[in-house]
C-alpha cells in the first residue's frame, strides 16, 4: 500500500489582487505558514502563474519549483478547469462563459474552442517541464442541457455526443501522454462526465485511453445522492487525483438535488468546509489507501458559510489527521510459521 501525500491546497479560490495572494511566492509562503506542503495551481490565473511561459521556458519552471521548495512546498498539479470547460461546450453557454476565455473570443464560439484546445496543449508541455504526473481539468458539456430528458433525447444523440467529445479530447490526451501526465477529469454536475456511468461512456469513446482518468471529489457525488465510497471500489484504477472537499445533502419537501434555483446557502445540497459536512472522510482515506492511491490530498475550499482562510487553515490539519500510514506487516505475523510446503500438505490432508 502507498501513503497519500499532503496536505495540499488548490489555490484557485485564494488568488486575488491583495497581498499575499497576488504572486506565486507570497501565496505559496502563506500556504506553507498554515500547514500545507503542496499547492495545486490554476493555470489561467496570471497573477500567480504564466502558462505560455511555463510551456516554453524551463528556467521559469525551475524557478517556480525552487521558490516553492524554499518554503517547503511542492507543486502538485496544474489545473485547466476553465480551459477544459471550453474545449467542448454547447453554444447555449457562450454568453455565460465569455469571462472564461480571452477578450478576442468573446461571443465567438469557435474562437473559444480553438483557444481552449491550444491552452490544453500548453498545459501538457508545462506539466512536463514541471515534472508533474497528473493534471486537473473539466471535460466540457455538449449534452448537459439534455441531462433530464424532457423532451426525450433524439435517438443516437448520446452516442454522437460522446463521439464528438472523444474527437476533441483524443489529441489532447495524446499530448499529455507524450509527457507522461494523466488527465484527470473532475466528475462534476454541469459536465458531460458527471457520474460513473457517463465516465464509462467517455472512456469507451476514447478507446480506454490510459491518460483518461478521474479527479475524485466526493462533494460532487454526495450532491447527486451517489455512493461515493463504492465509487472508489469501482473506479480506483482510474482515480489519479483527489480533491478533499466536504458537502451535505438535506433534501426536504420544498427542493432536492436540483436546488430550486436557490442561493447556495438555501439549497439542500451545498459545499461545506472540511469537517462541517456529511462526508465520511475516514472511509474515503481508508479506501484510497487500501487501493494504493499515492497522489495528493488537495483541499479545495468551497463553503457557503465559513470564511475561506479559516477553512483553509482548518483543512490543512484535517487532511493531516486523516492521512493513513500504511501497515507494513500483517497484524497476525507474530503467529505465523513461515512457508512450509510439507506442513501445507499435512494441513490439506495430502
Is residue 141 helix, strand or coil?
A: strand
Q: Please state, in angstroms and rounded to a whole number, the distance separating the CA atoms of residues 98 and 108.
A: 9
What's the whole-number mean pLDDT along residues 151-175?
97
- Write the pLDDT tens digit of every residue in 10-55: 999 999 999 999 999 999 999 999 999 999 999 999 999 999 999 9
What's the whole-number mean pLDDT along residues 131-155?
96
Sign for the CA dihedral angle at 187, 188, 191, 193 comes to: positive
CA-wise closest residue to 32 among 4, 74, 66, 62: 74
Q: Please state, in angstroms and rounded to a whole number, the distance separating the CA atoms of residues 47 and 172.
A: 26
pLDDT the model gives residue 119: 98
pLDDT the model gives residue 337: 62
pLDDT the model gives residue 197: 98
Is the pLDDT assigned to residue 334 strictly greater than 90? no
By mean pLDDT, which of 53-57, 64-68, 120-124, 339-343 is the weakest?
A: 339-343
Q: Please state, in angstroms and rounded to a whole number, the distance separating the CA atoms of residues 215 and 233.
A: 15
Q: What are phi and psi of 178, to 5 degrees?
A: -60, -25
Cα 212 to chain centroid distance, Å, stands at 12
- Containing H/E element for 166? helix 157-178
Q: Please state, in angstroms and rounded to a whole number, the distance separating the CA atoms of residues 338 and 122.
A: 54
Is the pLDDT assigned to residue 208 strictly greater than 70? yes
CA-wise closest residue to 284 among 250, 313, 251, 245: 245
Q: Please state, in angstroms and rounded to a whole number, the distance separating the CA atoms of residues 274 and 276.
A: 6
pLDDT the model gives residue 68: 98
- Write the pLDDT tens digit of every residue in 217-247: 999 999 999 999 999 999 999 999 999 999 9
pLDDT the model gives residue 339: 80
CA-wise closest residue to 198 among 270, 142, 129, 115: 142
Residue with cell 500510514: 325
Is residue 100 helix, strand or coil?
A: coil
Is the bond leading into 46 cis (omega within 30 degrees of zero)? Answer: no
Which domains can be identified in the chain, with CATH numbers?
A: 5-348 (3.20.20.150)
330 compared with 65, residue with greater pLDDT: 65
CA-wise closest residue to 212 among 250, 168, 256: 168
Q: What is the mean pLDDT of the chain?
A: 96
3-state helix, strand, coil in the chain (%, to 5): 45, 15, 40
pLDDT the model gives residue 340: 87
pLDDT the model gives residue 328: 82
What's the whole-number mean pLDDT along residues 316-340?
83
How much of the chain exceeds pLDDT 90, in percent?
Answer: 93
pLDDT the model gives residue 1: 83
Cα 169 to chain centroid distance, Å, stands at 17
Q: Please state, in angstroms and rounded to a whole number, the distance separating the CA atoms of residues 330 and 8.
A: 30
The answer to whether residues 23 and 309 touch, using CB atoms and an 8 Å cutoff, is no
Amino acid at each position: 500500500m502507498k501513503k497519500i501525500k499532503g496536505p495540499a491546497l488548490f489555490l484557485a479560490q485564494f488568488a486575488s489582487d491583495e497581498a499575499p495572494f497576488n504572486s506565486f511566492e507570497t501565496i505559496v509562503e502563506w500556504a506553507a505558514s498554515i500547514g500545507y506542503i503542496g499547492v495545486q495551481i490554476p493555470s489561467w490565473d496570471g497573477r500567480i502563474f504564466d502558462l505560455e511561459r511555463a510551456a516554453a521556458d524551463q528556467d521559469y519552471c525551475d524557478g517556480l519549483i525552487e521558490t516553492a521548495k524554499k518554503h517547503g512546498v511542492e507543486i502538485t498539479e496544474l489545473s485547466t478547469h476553465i480551459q477544459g470547460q471550453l474545449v467542448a461546450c454547447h453554444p447555449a453557454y457562450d454568453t455565460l462563459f465569455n469571462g472564461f476565455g480571452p477578450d478576442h473570443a468573446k461571443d465567438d464560439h469557435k474562437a473559444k474552442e480553438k483557444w481552449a484546445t491550444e491552452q490544453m496543449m500548453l498545459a501538457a508541455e508545462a506539466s512536463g517541464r514541471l515534472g508533474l504526473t497528473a493534471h486537473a481539468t473539466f471535460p466540457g458539456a455538449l449534452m448537459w442541457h439534455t441531462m433530464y430528458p424532457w423532451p426525450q433525447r433524439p435517438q443516437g444523440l448520446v452516442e454522437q455526443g460522446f463521439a464528438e467529445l472523444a474527437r476533441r479530447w483524443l489529441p489532447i490526451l495524446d499530448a499529455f501522454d507524450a509527457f507522461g501526465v494523466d488527465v484527470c477529469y473532475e466528475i462534476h454536475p454541469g459536465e458531460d462526465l458527471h457520474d460513473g456511468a457517463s465516465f464509462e461512456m467517455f472512456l469507451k469513446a476514447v478507446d480506454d485511453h490510459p491518460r483518461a482518468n478521474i479527479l475524485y471529489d466526493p462533494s460532487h457525488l454526495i450532491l447527486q445522492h451517489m455512493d461515493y465510497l463504492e465509487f472508489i471500489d469501482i473506479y480506483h484504477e482510474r482515480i489519479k487525483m483527489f480533491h478533499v472537499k466536504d458537502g451535505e445533502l438535506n433534501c426536504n419537501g420544498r427542493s432536492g438535488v436540483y436546488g430550486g434555483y436557490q442561493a447556495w446557502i438555501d439549497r439542500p445540497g451545498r459545499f461545506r468546509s472540511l469537517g462541517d459536512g456529511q462526508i465520511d472522510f475516514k472511509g474515503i482515506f481508508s479506501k484510497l489507501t487500501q487501493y494504493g492511491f499515492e497522489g495528493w490530498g488537495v483541499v479545495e475550499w468551497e463553503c457557503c458559510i465559513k470564511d475561506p482562510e479559516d477553512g483553509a487553515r482548518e483543512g490543512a490539519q484535517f487532511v493531516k489527521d486523516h492521512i493513513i500510514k500504511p501497515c507494513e506487516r500483517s497484524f497476525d505475523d507474530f503467529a505465523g510459521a513461515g512457508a512450509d510446503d510439507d506442513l501445507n500438505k499435512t494441513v490439506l490432508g495430502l
